[in-house]
Amino acid sequence: MRLSQLAIRRPVTIAMAVVFVLLFGILSLNRLGLDLLPKLNVPFITVATVYPNTDALTVEEEVTKPIEAALGTIDGLKKLESYSVENISIVVAQFHWTTPVSQALERVRSNLDQLVTVLPSAAQEPLVLTLDPAQLPLMVVSISGPEDLMELTARVKETVIPRLERVPGVAQVSILGGRDKEIHINYDNEKLRAHNISPTLLEQFLTYQNMVVPGGVIAIDDTRYYIKTGMHFQSADELREMIIGQNPEPPENDVFGLGALVPQFIRLGDVADVVERASREGGINRTDGKPALVVRLFKQAGENTVAVADRVKEALAELESGSGRDLDYFILNDQSQFIRQSIVNLEQNGLLGAALAVLVLFFFLRNIQTITIIAFAIPLSVVLTFVFMYFGKLTLNLMTLGGLALGVGMLVDNSIVVLENIYRLYREGKDPKAASLDGSSQVAAAITASTLTTLAVFVPLAYVGGLAGELFKELGLTVSFALLASLLVALTVVPVLTTRLLSRREDVAHEAVRFSFTDKLREGYARLLGGFLKHRGKALVITACLVLISLSLLPRLGIEFLPPMDQSILSMEVRLPAGTPTDKTDQVVREVEEILWAMPEVKHINAQIGNPATRDFLALLQASDTNMAQLLVNLTESHQRERTAAQLAQQIREKTSHVPAQITVNEDLTIGAFTGFLGGGIALQIRG
């Protein structure tokens, strides 16, 4: 028994199935995650190691080369790349695309465990990172205030960061460009020798007196108390009073010889100057010309990007009205905003496609019942697609949203073919049930074959290797799910609806108009086809000319891995010759900022010059130095300006061409920034 026959004979079953699909589809839509990009299996492993207060050459010799030697023996390794700058070592291991990331990660960590005794003791533990879009910041916020940068950093760490870390779905909150408070001890070597104290002994005093040691547990009245001994110094005054020895000589103003009975302690302030000041590292960080911090928020894996972003904005609004009311908050980048815009575009495209399909169908059929059937079939197919996506463990992201937008135009094709054939038989005199049964059966094989041929184009995208396959796999699956949903709806729901909605009485006026229009259309097509068949040679020549003209225009089309996306934000990198001090880099960046402020589309500018003292793993990968600067340029909304982000980026490149620095402008902070880490358009390797 054919599927259409079964559906027509079981209308109640089909009705219950439709209700189930609608309910479960809405539930699936609410449970689908919202992300910027699909989950990718990119076999790149990055090992970042911080070696404080060390030049680039020492970092390379003592950290980078041992790590390269340890990773070079791993099976499946394709290529190793390393970057050594002041204080930071970056080693990138690229594996073959057939290697699972989890397996590569396990091998890298296993080999790094053997370097515990090889790496310098001052070097921090290597940080192993995978190349995952989830590691891109959910949101980047600039915070500035009336105090200096050191006080602002302490205040943000005490009030802002704890509040943001409590937001459900936030995995990490990091500060970039802050200045931490440091206590510097400048000892007098002569005074140390006078008291028979060596610098090594002084270091041991500082180490052992600045620690907390567990002292066990005691129970009093059914209550357990944990005992700790020791303390951590909180200020320079506490350090000055730290006892480092005892003076055996009696005091000069000894009275009655009793001075020897009172111990004379030697304190740290007696032999050293103890001062508080901001950390020397940290470079320069400012937003709109004012000293500022950059706070990056990273979401937990699997969390809804839009929902987490909304919670973060609520927390920021709470801070603005509470303890942080005198601070200025600027959201420099927000992933959820771009996702929201993509969803709005999908809704608009879907509604427009559905409206045009209904309009065209009404133009040809002039029957309100058929319009109602198609108007119901389109959203039902979309909802069924959400069910397939949920069981396929897909998320709503740029790729799946693009697949839905692409599939909306195809959703109605099968239903129109079935409906038109049923309506033709119905118009010839068959009753609605017979017309539905015969009409759907006649075209079932044709629309199934048509759907399968289209699936043959999109399904292989799930099996393409490399980055392209990882990116477009979910797009191909989404389109395939949409086509299968439309086929099921066309073969089951449409025949059932036609048996119920088609009436035996036809609007004679509409039927006359429809026949008049279709007859004229048929006659025009017949004349055109007859002319081509009569002059076959001319028809072939015209066709060949059109093909050649089309091919000649092909080189004029731009070639990109992915189309540019206007996110109303630009990122810039300013690079001067190695060794350039931070002050000189700052002068060049200020010149660039003046050029940017002359553009009316620029809303906010954040500049990070030099090496940030506080950094997250993303900042480690950027590996900034005193000769480098990173800029985030926030633009007005796309509908508020005439020029696109790509056009503005090109103008910036032209206007900054005279600046004595290498300036890179990127208008895509999502896929472009992510794929850019995998390599540029042109790669040159020089070996010797």
Tell me: pLDDT of 493 over 70.
Answer: yes
Tell me: pLDDT of 508 over 50.
Answer: no
Please check whether residue 527 lies inside any domain of the structure.
yes
Mean pLDDT value across residues 637-650: 87
If asked whether residues 632 and 672 sit together in one domain, one would say yes
The last residue of one of the domains, among 490, 505, 520, is 505
pLDDT at residue 591 in the model: 93
- CATH number of the structural domain spanning residue 192: 3.30.2090.10
If asked whether residues 474 and 531 sit together in one domain, one would say no
Count: domains in the chain: 5
Task: Find the domain containing 588 and state its range.
Answer: 569-676
Q: How many of the other CB atoms lie within 10 Å of CB of 466?
A: 10
pLDDT tens digits, residue range 655-665? 999 999 999 88
Segments of 231-352 assigned E as strands? 243-247, 264-267, 272-278, 284-287, 290-299, 328-334
If asked whether residues 498 and 385 sit together in one domain, one would say yes
Please check whether residue 338 lies inside any domain of the structure.
no
Contact 93, 45 (CB under 8 A): yes
pLDDT at residue 515 in the model: 55
If asked whether residues 408 and 526 sit together in one domain, one would say no
H-helix or E-strand spanning residue 348? helix 335-365
Tell me: pLDDT of 505 over 60.
Answer: no
Please check whether residue 166 lies inside any domain of the structure.
no
Separation CA 95–CA 76 (nearest Å): 6
User: Mean pLDDT score of the chain, rounded to an integer?
Assistant: 82
Please check whether residue 191 lies inside any domain of the structure.
yes
The last residue of one of the domains, among 472, 488, 505, is 505
Please check whether residue 158 lies inside any domain of the structure.
no
pLDDT-based confidence at residue 622 (cuts at 50, 70, 90) = low
**What residues form DSSP beta bridges with 264?**
247
Mean pLDDT value across residues 291-310: 85
Separation CA 373–CA 488 (nearest Å): 14
Tell me: pLDDT of 165 over 70.
Answer: yes
pLDDT at residue 686 in the model: 53
Torsion of CA 392, 394, 398, 401, to 10 degrees: 50
If asked whether residues 119 and 243 sit together in one domain, one would say no
The CA–CA distances, whole Å, from 235 to 159, 238, 241, 404, 565 equal: 20, 5, 10, 60, 50
If asked whether residues 105 and 15 sit together in one domain, one would say no
Contact 185, 629 (CB under 8 A): no
If asked whether residues 372 and 462 sit together in one domain, one would say yes
pLDDT at residue 597 in the model: 94
- In order, the DSSP letters of 104-119 are HHHHHHHHHGGGTTTS
Rg (CA), the chain: 35
pLDDT-based confidence at residue 672 (cuts at 50, 70, 90) = low
Please check whether residue 342 lies inside any domain of the structure.
no
Q: Hunting for tokens 């959201």 — which residue is that?
A: 331
Tell me: pLDDT of 280 over 50.
Answer: yes
Tell me: pLDDT of 676 over 60.
Answer: no
Worst-scoring range by mean pLDDT, 260-264, 536-540, 581-585, 606-610?
260-264
pLDDT-based confidence at residue 96 (cuts at 50, 70, 90) = confident
pLDDT tens digits, residue range 190-217? 888 888 888 888 888 888 888 878 778 8
Please check whether residue 171 lies inside any domain of the structure.
no
Please check whether residue 59 lies inside any domain of the structure.
yes
Mean pLDDT value across residues 606-632: 70
Mean pLDDT value across residues 530-549: 89
If asked whether residues 24 and 99 sit together in one domain, one would say no
- CATH number of the structural domain spanning residue 88: 3.30.70.1430
Is the full-model pTM beyond 0.85?
no
Separation CA 79–CA 81 (nearest Å): 7
